[in-house]
Structure 1
Amino acid sequence: MKLKKRLLSIMMAGVITASAIFATGCGSNEAASSENGEKADKGEITVYTALEDEQVSTYLAEFNKKYPDIKVNVVRESTGIITAKLLAEKDNPQADIVWGTAASSMMVLDNQGGLKEYAPEGVDRILPEFKSDKEVPTWVGIDAWETAITVNTVEAEKLGLPEIKSYKDLLDPAFKGHIVMSNPNSSGTGFLTVSAILQLMGEEDGWKYLEDLDKNIAQYTHSGSKPAKMAASGECAVGISFGYAGLSQKKDGAPVEVVFPEEGSGWDLEANALINKKEINPAAYTFLDWAISDDAMELYKVNYPIITTDNVGTYEGYENDPIDQLIDNDFSWAAENRTSILDEWMKKFDAKSEPEE
């Protein structure tokens, strides 16, 4: 528990310093007044999200059971694309809400005034380490996700690949052309992994490691979950992705094992927010209220063992306390150096990125 508190306090020190992310919510069946305006149980809203497609459909099915008269138009993209889109639209926002998008990535939008303060119903249940410390929060977290390596055991045996326990094991020449990883410019998972390596090893040694790793990389994908899916289908032997992506493939019967590197996993927080617009859609408050309700948290807990209330989840595939796997993530450093990290990565490694769709 001491380690948990230490990690969370480190995270918040960084997030708050950089002035962070979003706000979420919990629903009302009748139109009701809030400190920010009127809530509604009817209407149409546009939601930007980086949650996985299958998660979005499952979560929204539950939301629609409670609020059948609120139409939710979803724009689902990888974290980097969602962030770029929100920044480009800052002066003419198209979205009403951001839902489940990386906290570290969204600090920039908050700093530019793109988020509106809102305290969703039930926000007091969210641990203080996982929400904005402003009197009325600009963001509220829902869960955390972390770097994991998905290995296709059939392909690995066929190719005679050595066992993977650590990041450094991935440098073995036997893996040349057999590893897929996500591009940090478009994927939040890619960025949290690159950031973790630079923090764990130091910037000089970290970039040297990434250069050596690049020799074994077949492709950099634009989606954080795609490397795990490619490993599951046998398109590659090893996918550097995140825990849920690999474990869900294993649960569906794919011949994979999920490895959490012994040095520790990079991680980030999925968070929600109200977009700062001249006119706030009343149904947006209702959605954000629901999105941190007990019902919503139970849904998140199916996929992520680390949620933002005390009622943490469990998930098959994590041998130890998931909190212990997380590195001491300096979110402030990551936010301040994000642009330079991404620019450097692009110069060095973008040649192996998959084509833009």
Structure 2
Amino acid sequence: MRKPLKHLLALSGTLFALTAQANTELTVYTALEAEDLQKYAERFNQDHPEITIKWVRDSTGIITARLLAEKDNPRADAVWGLAGTSLMLLQQQGLLEGYAPKGVEQLNPLYRDKQNPPQWVGMDAWMAAICFNTVEAKKHNLTPPTSWQDLTKPEYQNHIVMPHPASSGTGYLDVSAWLQTFGEDKGWAYMDGLHQNIKSYTHSGSKPCKMAASGEAAIGISFAFRGAREKENGAPLELIFPSEGLGWEMEAAAIIKGKQSDAAKTLLDWAVSEKANQLYNEGYAIVAMPGVAKPVKHFPAEPEKLLIKNDFTWAAANRERILSQWQSRYEGKAEAQ
């Protein structure tokens, strides 16, 4: 029996819609570690095979600058894995779209925007650490530092690398934390002293720890995730968590304004889920959803106790001023891009 034309047309439309859904491409800007992008996409695709993530990945400062430059012609659909202070800056510029992902109320309030609907949601926290190469230290007769202030000692001259704060979110969280911990005048004085011992400022938050792991430098100011991974891979590293407290940042996710597609909403829904938080916990000891995190090897037992009370709003609002002053003082030792 021949089916009526209208039924055939309806079936054809349904098949077209399903095909379109199965081939949705989502452009996602990120500063996640490059080697983790495939894992993140694969875990997401286990639940949503109909969406293909097209990653655009770079260091935090580069991605933030790119998003700001594309303000009038946005190319990203969403952000998944960028510093919370960067998203607050984008929020101030009107670049983000409010959306309340399913289950967002289960997150720690610190890890979600207070607006309703929120314009960004947190994922996890990454925290500062010193990667100390024990082999290189013995070679140069260096004692392990126990505090940030120790890094200004003459024995460390030309042995320290740290991230450039304009390029790296890790670099900026360090600078912001020192200014908050020591006060602005003493914070800049501290960085003046540290600068005397700096070999170079890298354009990646991971690179100082990688350089320490390979012996290119004895000391890398980096973050705990990278240090733990390098140590687990056999590098002769000691992870040091300075006594004054650790600067930290949250990784976060958001939808770019004007790009509020169903696929972007689906990504945000998944990004706040328990399954996503379990994924984050594979590398980070602190995640946005309470009760999910389990201890991570080579991290301190109670990492939250080491974190400074970070004023993210202040850090975001003063970012341009701080970076300008930092570059006027220390840019001479920045590595070539």
Query: TM-score, normalised to structure 2's length?
Result: 0.91
Decide which of 106, 110, 116 is 2:97's aligned counterpart.
116
Q: Which residue of 2 aligns with 1:200?
A: 181
5+ residue gaps, structure 2: 1-13, 15-19
Q: Greater CA deviation, 39-48 or 329-338?
A: 39-48
SS across alignment from 1:75: strand
Runs of 4+ in 1 over 3 A off after TM superposition: 39-42
Aligned residues of 1:51 and 1:100 also touching (Cα < 8 A): yes
Partner of 1:326: 307
Query: Is 2:263 aligned against 1:283?
Result: yes
- 1:281 Cα deviation after fit: 3.0
Question: Alignment partner of 1:147: what SS?
Answer: strand
AA of the residue aligned to 1:122: G
Q: Distance in 1 between matches of 2:240 and 2:309?
A: 19
Which residue, 62, 76, 91 being the options, matches 2:57?
A: 76
Partners of 1:327 and 1:45 in 2: CA distance: 36
Please show how residues 160-309 of structure 1 align to structure 2 within 5 Å. Answer: 160-277=141-258, 280-309=260-289
Task: Look up the SS of the partner of 1:135 in the other structure.
Answer: coil
In the other structure, the counterpart of 1:22 is: none
1 CA distance for matches of 2:313 and 2:88? 10
Gap runs ≥5 in structure 1: 1-30, 32-38
Paired AA for residue 91 in structure 2: D
Equivalent position of 1:17 in the other structure: none
**Inter-partner Cα distance in structure 1 for 2:336 and 2:272:** 36
SS at match of 1:302: coil
* Shift in Å, 1:288: 1.7
Q: Is 1:353 aligned with 2:334?
A: yes
Letter in 2 for 1:308: A
Give me the identity figure in percent.
50
Cα distance, 1:147 vs structure 2: 0.9
- Please give the TM-score of this superposition, normalised by the length of structure 1: 0.86
RMSD over aligned Cα atoms: 1.6
How big is the shift at 1:47?
Answer: 0.2
Distance 1:285 1:313 in 2: 28
- Do 2:21 and 2:50's aligned partners in 1 also have CA atoms closer than 8 Å? no
Shift of 1:274: 0.5
Larger Rg: 2
* Partners of 1:63 and 1:54 in 2: CA distance: 16
2:5 matched residue in structure 1: none
Q: Which amino acid aligns with 2:270?
A: W
Counterparts of 1:255 and 1:247, CA distance in 2: 11
Matched to 1:282, the amino acid is D
Which residue of structure 2 lines up, in the alignment, with residue 315 of structure 1?
296
Task: Give the partner amino acid of 2:248.
Answer: W
